[in-house]
């Protein structure tokens, strides 16, 4: 993406046009996004529930780089590129587990929980071999409540810098990350570019049309639906409907509870955190870009442990229903973008301002003249 192209796109974005359709299918753009966005930003890799004791670990892939996050002996979280310094096998293969040391499954080079190489079979026969020269490559680790993040760039500002006042704003509207219990995980691969998924998340213009169940619970008209954004985050807040919408006159789940508003927050580039009215509960939803037209969607859910089982089930069904409706939408958009017959869409900024905010971040990040510290 040349400077001239970036500036041209930027001008169009300011006036409400969307990013060019080819940015959602082109392998070169995807590669550039990896270099300029995903190698320098905070990516969620899972939850901390399985990382309580020294030696507990999880593995993930960030910008096509295998990573491992482990609880060390000092009880801190450490993160490493999960690639052996011997001959580049992944050190750990399992998605999560517990180990006293990180021993490579290929030739048993063995690293401690701080990434130091502590043994390499037969290396004592090599005259110049010093274990200290071959520690695992570190990555940054951060956390928000139970969510664990990794940043491949050791010079990137901390996660808190990007979150800024978002956690406090969410707390004011009832988002509680402490005292909840884990309520399950699901993931699904979809045939859409990651940006299509973010953009679908960033607006509720489609809610009355595509989410009848959701629209029974929360106000979805522009007067009730508040949008706000900061440098790296954005958020929509909407109250519980005072009466259920729709002809059948009932809510899809029991909405009684302390939480009176829905909120849907986004952190650049691929993380969202969400709350629906009713019992205290939170759902994180994040994306792992796999290819220009393939994205893994991951959902992690937590809920107040006193919530009755029937309510937990109804809420889980509700969330899944909205998720499934969104999958149909994003895959449909992807087919339209791939056609290349409509190069720029047109945002309605009153309802879709957060998409513009997101697309400006994308275009700035890809602008070859921009500071890479995005």
Q: Which residues bind Fe ion (CB under 5 A)?
A: 326
- Please report how close the Cβ of residue 123 comes to ligand FES at its closest, in angstroms: 10
Minimum CB distance to ligand FES smaller for 44 or for 84: 84
Residue 109 binding target from ligand FES, Fe ion, none, CB below 5 to 8 Å by type: ligand FES
With contact defined as beta carbons under 8 Å apart, do 13 and 360 qualify?
yes
Interface with ligand FES (CB under 6 A), residue total 9
Distance of CA 49 to the CA centre of its chain: 17
- In the complex with Fe ion, the residue whose CB is nearer, 162 or 214, is 214
Q: Does 107 bind ligand FES (CB under 6 A)?
A: yes
Among 73, 106, 124, 339, binds ligand FES (CB under 6 A): 106
Q: Which does 104 bind (CB under 5 to 8 A by kind): Fe ion, ligand FES, none?
A: ligand FES
Q: Among the candidate windows 84-92, 239-247, 310-318, 339-347, which touches ligand FES by CB under 6 A? A: 84-92
What's the closest the beta carbon of residue 329 comes to Fe ion, in angstroms? 6
Q: What is the DSSP string of 112-128?
A: -TTS-EEE-TTGGGSTT
Stretch that binds ligand FES, among 49-57, 83-91, 94-102, 341-349 (CB under 6 A): 83-91
Given the complex with Fe ion, which of 326 and 367 has the nearer CB atom? Answer: 326
Least Å distance between CB 88 and ligand FES? 6
Check residue 278 and report its DSSP letter: B
Are residues 166 and 233 in contact, defined by beta-carbon separation less than 8 angstroms? Answer: yes
From CA 26, how far away is CA 24, in angstroms rounded? 6
Per CB under 6 A, the list member of 10, 86, 294, 344 interacting with ligand FES is 86
> Rounded to the nearest whole angstrom, what is the least distance from the CB of residue 108 to ligand FES in the complex?
6
89 interface partner picked from ligand FES, Fe ion, none, CB below 5 to 8 A per type: ligand FES
Q: How far is CA 370 from CA 2, 11, 319, 364, in A?
A: 11, 16, 38, 6
Of ligand FES, Fe ion, none, which one sits near residue 310, judging by CB under 5 to 8 A according to partner kind? none
CA of residue 367 relative to chain centroid, distance: 23
Are the CB atoms for 171 and 186 separated by under 8 Å? no
Question: Tokens at residue 115, please?
Answer: 């990434």
Task: Phi first, then psi: give them for residue 141, nearest 5 degrees.
Answer: -125, 140
Among Fe ion, ligand FES, none, what binds residue 106 when CB lies within 5 to 8 Å by partner kind? ligand FES
> From edge to edge, which strands make up the β-sheet containing 181-190?
181-190, 294-303, 281-291, 271-275, 261-267, 233-239, 226-229
Q: Which stretch binds ligand FES (CB under 6 A): 85-93, 168-176, 246-254, 261-269?
A: 85-93
Q: At its nearest, how many Å lie between ligand FES and the CB of residue 127? A: 20
Nearer to Fe ion, 80 or 201 (CB): 201
| Chain-centroid distance, C-alpha 270 | 4
Q: Does 84 bind ligand FES (CB under 6 A)?
A: yes
| 186: three-class secondary structure by DSSP | strand
Helix (H, G, I), strand (E, B) or coil at 104: coil
User: Considering the rule CB under 6 A, would residue 104 count as an interface residue with ligand FES?
Assistant: yes
Token pair listed for 83: 């690639």
Is 106 or 186 the residue whose CB approaches ligand FES more closely? 106
Side-chain-side CA neighbours of residue 91 (13 Å): 34
At 181, is the secondary structure helix, strand, or coil? strand
Q: What residue ranges bind ligand FES (CB under 6 A)? A: 84, 86-87, 89, 104, 106-109
């Amino acid at each position: 993406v040349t400077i001239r192209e970036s500036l041209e796109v930027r001008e169009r974005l300011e006036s409400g046009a969307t990013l060019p359709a080819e940015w959602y299918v082109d392998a070169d753009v995807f590669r550039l996004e990896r270099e300029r966005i995903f190698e320098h930003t905070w990516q969620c890799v899972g939850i901390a529930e399985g990382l309580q004791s020294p030696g507990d670990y999880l593995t993930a892939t960030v910008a096509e780089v295998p990573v491992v996050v482990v609880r060390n002996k000092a009880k801190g979280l450490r993160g490493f590129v999960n690639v052996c310094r011997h001959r580049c096998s992944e050190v750990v293969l399992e998605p999560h587990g517990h180990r006293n040391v990180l021993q490579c499954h290929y030739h048993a080079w063995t690293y401690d929980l701080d990434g130091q190489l502590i043994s390499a079979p037969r290396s004592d026969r090599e005259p110049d071999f010093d274990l200290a020269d071959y520690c695992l490559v570190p990555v940054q680790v951060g956390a928000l409540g139970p969510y664990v993040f990794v940043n491949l760039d050791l010079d990137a500002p901390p996660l808190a810098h990007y979150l800024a006042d978002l956690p406090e704003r969410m707390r004011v509207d009832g988002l509680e990350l402490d005292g909840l219990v884990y309520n399950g995980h699901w993931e699904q691969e979809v045939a859409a570019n990651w940006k299509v998924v973010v953009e679908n998340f960033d607006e509720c213009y489609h809610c009355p049309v595509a989410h009848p169940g959701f629209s029974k619970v929360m106000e979805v008209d522009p007067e009730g639906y508040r949008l706000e954004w900061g440098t790296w985050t954005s958020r929509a807040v909407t109250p519980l409907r005072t009466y259920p919408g729709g002809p059948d006159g009932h809510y899809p789940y029991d909405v009684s509870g302390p939480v009176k508003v829905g909120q849907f927050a986004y952190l650049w580039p691929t993380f969202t955190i969400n709350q629906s009215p009713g019992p205290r509960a939170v759902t994180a939803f994040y994306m792992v870009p796999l290819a220009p037209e393939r994205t893994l969607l991951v959902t992690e859910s937590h809920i107040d442990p006193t919530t009755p089982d029937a309510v937990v089930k109804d809420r889980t069904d509700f969330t899944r229903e909205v998720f499934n409706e969104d999958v149909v939408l994003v895959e449909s958009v992807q087919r339209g973008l791939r056609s290349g017959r409509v190069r720029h869409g047109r945002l309605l900024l009153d309802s879709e301002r957060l998409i513009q905010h997101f697309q400006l971040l994308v275009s700035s990040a890809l602008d070859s003249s921009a500071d890479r510290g995005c």
